[in-house]
Amino acid sequence: MPNKKYWIREMSWVEFDKRRKETKTVIIPSGACEIYGPHLPMGSDSFAAEAVAEEVAKRTNAVIAPMTQVSDSSGLKDFVGTLSMSKGLFEAWMDELVSQLIDYGFENFMFISGHAGSVAPIQSVGTKYLQKNGIRFAQIDWWRFTQQHDAGIFTHQGRMCHAHASECGTSVMLHLRPDLVDMDQAVCVPPAENEFPDILTFAPMHTKTPNATVGDATAGTAKKGEKIFQLCVDRIVTYMEKMWG
């Protein structure tokens, strides 16, 4: 007997028609394609979201919608290789996707967002359909989520661990895709002091770092990555089982 499929993209329409009647829960992963330090692949956000979605689906019987691998990465546009789409275009795509999945009978929507720039547009779409159609939705802002569950795992804390392409991100990628990580290129770029952390401002990434690393990438290890990945997946599964049955 073949293994159960979770990714909609891997199913025939016959298989999808069967699976949509077995579960009301769909996971929607999204990432980015942007410079992620000199040592990590530009698809790191996407690789992380995809892996989390797959592991959660296996434990909850959910299906997984097609992966969205580009988002608003305009803050990194000055670095070679970054691809970006506008927030409006990203939100419109998510709106269309959710609308069609609702039409197919899905009621529980779990968004795994590997990129911070996607969080606000997804929250807007989720809220719209919650109010319009009564869906249930939740969103995991992956890299901020790891920061809330990292006790005792990492060498550093705060931005030295959880800023862009630093200890946490490097560790997760060493766990998930070590073949794409070049630790010989990993660097430590301490975050700049912010005199006014209570005031929201914007500064392009190139004004903060010469290579899109903020924090200590050299402290990353696969063991740390495995620990934080599994702990966070456990937390997501617990939520889904308790809140959605």
Of 176, 236, 210, the residue nearest 25 (C-alpha) = 236
Locus of tokens 């970054």: 82
> 209-222: per-residue pLDDT in tens?
999 999 999 999 99
What is the enclosing helix (H) or strand (E) of 224? helix 222-244
Instruction: Please say whether the beta carbons of 169 and 186 come within 8 A.
Output: no
Percent of the chain scored above 70 by pLDDT? Answer: 99
Backbone φ and ψ of 11, nearest 5°: -95, 150
Instruction: State the pLDDT confidence band at 3, using cuts at 50, 70 and 90.
Output: low
C-alpha 213/C-alpha 185 separation (Å) is 11
Instruction: Please say whether the beta carbons of 225 and 173 come within 8 A.
Output: yes
E strand residue ranges, 114-222: 136-141, 188-189, 215-216
Query: Where do the structural domains in the chain lie, given as residue ranges?
Result: 8-244
Q: Would you call 185 helix, strand, or coil by DSSP?
A: helix
Amino acid (1-letter code) at residue 185: Q
> 54-106: per-residue pLDDT in tens?
999 999 999 999 999 999 999 999 999 999 999 999 999 999 999 999 999 99
Select 8-244's CATH number: 1.20.120.1760, 3.40.50.10310, 3.40.50.300, 3.90.110.10: 3.40.50.10310
Per-residue tokens: 87: 């927030």
C-alpha 218/C-alpha 189 separation (Å) is 10
